[in-house]
Structure 1
């Protein structure tokens, strides 16, 4: 049981550290990014909680977020050629012309 708690704390700390490092400088709240990274590293058990509550950007506006800037719609994912109706029409036309 103590091993599981330790692994959970390690996972939480690593998540918070990675999140603090990858957050753009201009999006951190209350303190500069470098100070937040130091807080997460030096105050292992509570530094991550401080980061999530006080330093992490609020809202889903970060790059790679599931939502766009309006918070409502998901950005359009790239489509492959087999999902493009125009490409499929052109391919069908080419195949018919070869026969």
Structure 2
């Protein structure tokens, strides 16, 4: 080869693999102190549940001890849990929500 010869290498096209974000379920836990109406109000306000869905989620938690409210990505789930817990704390209720990885 001469000094001025250009050597071309084949282009390799790479496509990055994008994984779907892991999902987290928000759980509502029953307690004996928080009024049902307040729980329904929090579900409507924070989680945008309609009236019948909020009632169903609240009653499931009341009867079984806990209920899945919704499923979100981690950061959204944690934000919603904090917002709901802050509302309950302001009102003086021990309402409990958690975010757990969905299996």
- Which is helix-richer, 1 or 2? 1
Higher percent of residues as strand: 2
Could you state the TM-score of these two structures normalised by the residue count of structure 1? Answer: 0.29
